Chains A and B, each alone.
Chain A
């Protein structure tokens, strides 16, 4: 890779061992993908829940902090994805003191590195959305696909170590979706209907993700009616990224790089059709039981509007199974102030903040609480939780709230 003078100095250790190690990691990854150089980035977003980090990852972070030489803090705004717990609600989740201690150590290390503990996977709704052509190093797949597709920003999936490296060096290897030619569509998807519910948008994203199939695929989607809302596209993108590892899509006539189909699609691309039956079938395939042990709204964290809708549905209800609604630390105080939290909790639900359900030791939660049959309106969550021992079921927010009351999920 071609390095400029500043980068050569970092690599030589002139800024200290921490940025040196970060750049060595970036060069290793960049050379693997054939990157020619590094590109400056303006923001980094760091996924580092302690279930993923483990003791080894936390020790690695503490090792970065332990030195005294040179630069040991990030150079650009670097923010965090959800943590592995909401400390105030850890008992509700059956989390152990060892989990919480590890979490505290990770937070302490990140703070010493200058990382801002925003603990959100919806930073494009709550912190600062990136702008078109802004090169960033974002590290939650839902964040990346939204930022690339809806905002027109430029990011690859940056896992925790790489996002932290980008924060420390202020740059990232220039490959993948930092390159204009990689952002052009590789397949066309004709959609025959436009969902209205969030679970419907998530299921549509899941179907397209499965079709597109791998990280380097860029679907351009035609046939969407009207102007989808941010929360709808949040579920659509997060699910597509989860089911297919997709980092960028275009909506013809809607998203910034696809004002016209020809702006992103060359003639002769493979073209497929997605029907309502395809989307319904994905949802039905997860409906494996009528009973429900827990209802979870999470993945991505809920916006203020989603919490408002949920509060409306909770009024006058009384839950017989636990209902968890997970949001960001930025949204939670507003939900408290607007009375949404109180209305959800008056029905027997719980509003949690700064975590995400699947990033919070989901397997151990299942074992501690006896939760197996889980209803949610998040297609991303149902895709993930099968491997954690759950029987996840996908349904509308309304049907999930009904299930929290009756303990039964109605079939559609």
Chain B
């Protein structure tokens, strides 16, 4: 599989590599996550029942309130946290949370990034270069039953 590179207009953090968990849906740590068990738990979310731990989340946009600004830091302290966040657009809360929690993040692409990245693909987030690179084949993503 040839590497494919996507360029982001906004970037923060350090380079990480891991499996992409992709959906054309929004994100709020308070609204959408069971932060104790590391699962999406909002019944209407497209990733409900799936674990976000150690994944590079590829989603559309930030939703909801301001709690994510603290929650990413708290999730990071317990190791129950996404590896990186890759969004079509983010709000200030997500950026503030990533800054405090030291979670790598990319946002703002020329295409819909949730359509461009296969779910389960191995990807690299490089904030210094502002790039998202698809580096590997799709890996199996096991769906857990909703809690």
Contacts and interface: CB of A to CB of B under 8 A. Distances in A.
B92 A48 contact: no
Nearest to B63: A245
Given A25-B100, A386-B42, A159 B70 contact: yes
A159 B61 contact: no
A162 B11 CA distance: 18
Contacts, number: 134
B70 A57 contact: yes
Interface in A236-281: 241-245, 247
A214 interface: yes
A32 B11 contact: yes
A214 B61 contact: yes
Interface string B81-105: 0000000011111011101100001
Contact of A215 (B43, B61, B68): B61
A57 B74 contact: yes
A161 B96 contact: yes
Given A54-B77, A60-B73, A245-B63, A157 B99 contact: no
Interface string B42-68: 111100000000000000011111111
Contacts of A389: 41
B27 to A, nearest CB: 10
Given A141-B65, A215-B62, A242-B65, A160 B12 contact: no
Contact of B99 (A32, A60, A386): A32
B122 interface: no
A213 interface: yes
B43 to A, nearest CB: 6
A49 B74 CA distance: 12
B69 interface: yes
Nearest to A358: B30
Contact of A32 (B33, B41, B77, B95): B95
Nearest to A34: B10
A56 B102 CA distance: 13
Nearest to A59: B77
Contacts of A28: 12, 99
Interface string A136-179: 00011100000000000000111111100000000000001000
Interface residues of A, number: 45
B46 to A, nearest CB: 13
A52 B30 contact: yes
Contacts of A242: 64-65
Contacts of B62: 214-215, 245
Nearest to A46: B66
Contacts of B34: 387
A216 interface: yes
B66 A215 contact: no
Contacts of B95: 29, 32-33
A383 B78 CA distance: 27
Nearest to A45: B66
B66 A160 contact: yes
A161 B100 CA distance: 7
A56 B77 contact: yes
B70 A48 contact: yes
A384 interface: yes
B70 A53 contact: yes
A55 interface: yes
A139 B68 CA distance: 12
B91 A157 contact: yes
B71 interface: yes
Nearest to B29: A52
A335 interface: no
A274 B101 CA distance: 39
B5 to A, nearest CB: 20
A279 B97 CA distance: 33
A152 to B, nearest CB: 20
Given A28-B12, A244-B63, A245-B91, 4 more contacts: A47-B67, A160-B66, A161-B99, A387-B45
13 contacts: A25-B99, A32-B95, A51-B67, A56-B78, A139-B66, A140-B65, A157-B92, A158-B96, A159-B97, A161-B70, A383-B64, A387-B32, A387-B45
Interface of B: 10-12, 26, 30-34, 41-45, 61-71, 73-74, 76-78, 89-93, 95-97, 99-100, 105
Q: Enumerate the 5 nearest inter-chain pairs by beta-carbon distance, A residue then B residue, closest first.
A: A159-B69, A54-B74, A56-B77, A215-B91, A387-B42
